[in-house]
Chain A
Amino acid sequence: MTEVVESAASKRLKRVALTMLTFLLMVLMCLPGLWVVLSAFRPNREILAKPPIWIPETLTLDNFGKIFGWGTEQVAIPVGSYFANSLIIALTSTVIALLIGMAGGYAFARYSFRGKGSLFLGFMLFRAVPGIALSLPVFMIWSRLGLIDTKAGLIIVYVSLNVPFTLWLIDGFFRQIPVSLSEAAQVDGCTRWQAFWKIEFPLARSGIAAAGVFAFLTSWNEFALASQLTRSTDSKTLPVGLLDFTAQFTIDWAGMCAMAVIIIIPALVLTFIVQKHLIAGLTFGGVKG
């Protein structure tokens, strides 16, 4: 009897130890990112200090004030306009990609037609073209069309970058909705168009939102194409702007960390909101052919 109790206790102890170990491991994995976030709130002289200062002595918002030009000190990098460009470009391209992806995803999920499999694969293979390889011909064509260093030029590219994956995710979400629901609505007198907006769209809404977040993040984080297709504050995005810091005589580490935090915050918030749907979309969309 005591033996049974003992083994139960030791089993529990093992479980607690394993849980603690896993948590520790995950925190350790996040440490590099957290160090950058912490450094964004420290003055540059503390980051550069020798011998190193391990425990922050002063935490300040000055770095953010500086890069946005609020305080007395300023950096010569127009982070404000980069932020606006990133937001406009990412949002516009996401909305367009979602509309195109919804139409295409619905076609893939609800109709069967010849060449469907190869068409689907074709979309994915187009997406596989490396950004920097695609940038060469796009750069040559865009400079003839006058689209270099314009927001529209980048938006067009990002839409095409996002369509295949959006299509894949949305196809998966529509597949999970039984066809019988829409058919029942059509028997009751709805047109297919009405059935889509009244039945299927509301049911797939959270999944479509997840696809939208994924598209937004792809555009928000993209660098290879943006770095070649943008030139000035007219269209430069945040990831390209981050490299402005390295062009300066001394690297402003604190400023770069602050800018990194600005880039990461929207990504962080959006991913937390849709993480559940995103995983479901990726696995179901991929497995249930």
Chain B
Amino acid sequence: MIRALRTRRVETAPFLLLTPALITMLFVVAVPLVFSLWASLTPYQLTKPATLWRFIGPENYRRAVTDSAFWIVFGRTILFLTIALNVELLLGLGIALLINRITWGQRTLRTIMMFPMMFSPILVGFQFKFLFNDNIGIVNNALQSLGLTDQAIPWLVDARLAMFSITLAEVWMSTSVFAILLLAGLFAMPRDPLEAAKVDGCNAWQVFRHITLPFLMPFAYIAMAIRSLDVARAYDIVAVMTDGGPAGRTELLWTVIARVGYENAKMGQANAIAFISTLLSIAFTWHFYRKLVAARRYMGGAA
């Protein structure tokens, strides 16, 4: 009887409590997204306001997917994310395993490790633009002082080197997130299975491969899920470092949106590309959220 009363009373309370959150998301994200979808189906240009009300169907999408330049940028974005995220995961795992073995000064190390996390993407971009400047940057200065090269290396001017520099900046910024979460996983790990495996004669690699790694997976998925929410922050880095140049060769999906929408004032086309990038991000988050849930179920709530 008491139980029945209690369940009836909780019916409205959670929804009342969630109302402010729902209203904010509705008006600042959901409504603009619907509006964005509409705009992507019009030839809207900022200079011609009337064009916002002319429906042309999926023309903007058709134009995007039949344009080879779009696919080059799309491919570059995927490649950039794949390389950056994998390097971040591996480096983060390495750092976490290393720090986990240190007994003296571990707290200090953990604090130092978080240093890059405090930098905003715009600062990371500026920082690497400063370091990689071909004339006054410390990288070229060091290489020239050591006599490794007598010419200034055009780090941000050559297309390939520029993409490398951008990826390095991205990795520098986000490796800490992986390291810190994986380290938290290592701390939470029970000791018994490790010792049992050693008694059973497993070597270090076997212990890592069959005990440590599976245990760490949910933590890796948390890190991936968190990262998936802000992969588009790479926009800030590129905007500062190269602004998509030279000749559009470091352009990513996100910088194209800004270029088409604000610089060329073609809002209709920009909204179509923005919608594609949004779907990409959502698919990414969805994927790692599912993996996280599955890993958690597999672990039986041990983590």
Contact = CB atoms under 8 A, between A and B. Distances in A.
Contacts of B68: none
A132 B138 contact: no
Contacts of A88: none
Contacts of B95: 25
Contacts of B275: 133
Interface stretch (A56-64, A66-74, A159-167, A198-206): A159-167
A107 B14 CA distance: 5
A48 interface: yes
B289 A39 contact: no
A146 interface: no
A224 B236 contact: yes
Nearest to B172: A32
Contact of B111 (A101, A108, A165, A275): A275
Interface in B260-283: 261-262, 267, 270-271, 274-275, 277-278, 281-282
Nearest to B109: A26
A232 interface: no
A124 B287 CA distance: 12
A125 B285 contact: yes
Contacts of B112: 26-27, 29-30
Contacts of B103: 15, 19
A288 B228 CA distance: 20
B121 to A, nearest CB: 7
Contacts of A113: 10-11, 14-15
Interface string B223-236: 00110110111011
A131 B119 contact: no
B136 A253 contact: yes
A80 interface: no
A285 B214 CA distance: 20
Given A129-B282, A242-B122, A264-B123, A26 B113 contact: yes
A221 B122 contact: yes
Nearest to B176: A29
A189 interface: no
Interface in A58-112: 99-101, 103-104, 106-108, 110-112
A255 to B, nearest CB: 12
A52 B143 CA distance: 11
Contacts of B218: 286-287
Nearest to A39: B130
A141 B118 CA distance: 32
Interface string A122-137: 0111111111111011
Given A107-B13, A264-B119, A163 B36 contact: no
Given A123-B25, A160-B28, A22 B219 contact: no
Top 3 A-B pairs, shortest CB-CB distance: A221-B120, A130-B232, A160-B28
Given A103-B18, A263-B123, 17 more contacts: A22-B102, A33-B119, A51-B145, A104-B18, A104-B20, A107-B18, A129-B33, A136-B271, A137-B39, A140-B267, A159-B28, A223-B239, A242-B240, A282-B184, A283-B184, A287-B218, A289-B293
Interface of A: 15, 18-19, 22-23, 25-27, 29-30, 32-33, 35-36, 39, 47-48, 50-52, 54, 99-101, 103-104, 106-108, 110-113, 119, 121, 123-134, 136-138, 140-141, 156-157, 159-160, 163-165, 167, 217, 220-224, 227-228, 239, 242-243, 246, 253, 256-257, 260, 263-264, 267-268, 271-272, 275, 279-280, 282-283, 286-289
